[in-house]
Amino acid sequence: MTVAEHLKPTIERIGREQTPVLTLDDFDLFTAPLQAAAARAQFVPDRKTYYPGVRAPMPKEAAIAILQGVYRQLYSLYGISPGRRLKPTGAMFSLIASAPDQLSHLQRIPHFDTSNPHFFALLLYLNPGFHGSTGFFRHKGTGFERVDESRIGTYFSVAEQFLQKQQGPSSGYVTESRDDFELFHQVGYRQHRMVIYPGNLLHSILVDEETDIDANPESGRLTANLFFEFA
């Protein structure tokens, strides 16, 4: 039995492109040990990506166990060839720490992780309480919800023209439809909830400024973020 076999996932096909997003509630086997590990971890600013906060490595053993418990379901859900094999690419704890007026231009618009159609993100919400959802966006100028290799040139060209015309994105975190992006779906934050989605979906944290901007792993919007591909 895998760690998730006794739980029933929810599959939502979101947006006009009907992209599957997998949500698994009550995935609580790892919550307490991961919270304890995060409390001991040394969080530092993320210099490699545009994440607006601090991150720390999560235990590799837990990351492998989580992925082993769920990855087999993704082959049929996303039409992945059986010849492709799971390849973890990153596993970390994340906490939002940047004030709205500290954000760069790219931190003020939705983003996609990669144009690779076989790359996925897994989020595990760890702390209790109310925190901001994960939102998925449609780019109005192109109609794109996902950005793959065939779309990436068009997307960046149209998006840049729009942002230059209005002299940059609106200030603060993007938490609703604005500028040239339409919020069309969101997955609420709930302790023990896991979310898996393709990394080429346009998405953003819908930051609640009252509860989320908190670098304390015991009270902030603590997530375990796992990234992987089928190579």
> What is the pLDDT averaged over residues 136-159?
98
- What pLDDT score does 68 carry? 93
- What pLDDT score does 7 carry? 75
Q: What is the mean pLDDT of the chain?
A: 95
Q: Which of 41, 38, 50, 3 is nearest to 24 (CA)?
A: 3
- What pLDDT score does 1 carry? 36
- What pLDDT score does 8 carry? 85
Distance CA 219, CA 183 (A): 27
> What is the pLDDT averaged over residues 186-202?
98
Cα angle: 144, vertex 122, 98; to 5 degrees: 80
Distance CA 184, CA 216 (A): 31
- What pLDDT score does 167 carry? 93
State the angle between helix axes of 31-40 and 60-70 in degrees (0 to 180), rounded to the nearest 10.
Answer: 150
- What pLDDT score does 131 carry? 98
Least confident of 1-5, 18-22, 65-69, 216-220: 1-5
pTM: 0.95
With a cut of 80, say whether residue 64 has pLDDT above it. Answer: yes
Banded pLDDT at 4 (limits 50, 70, 90): low
- What pLDDT score does 5 carry? 59
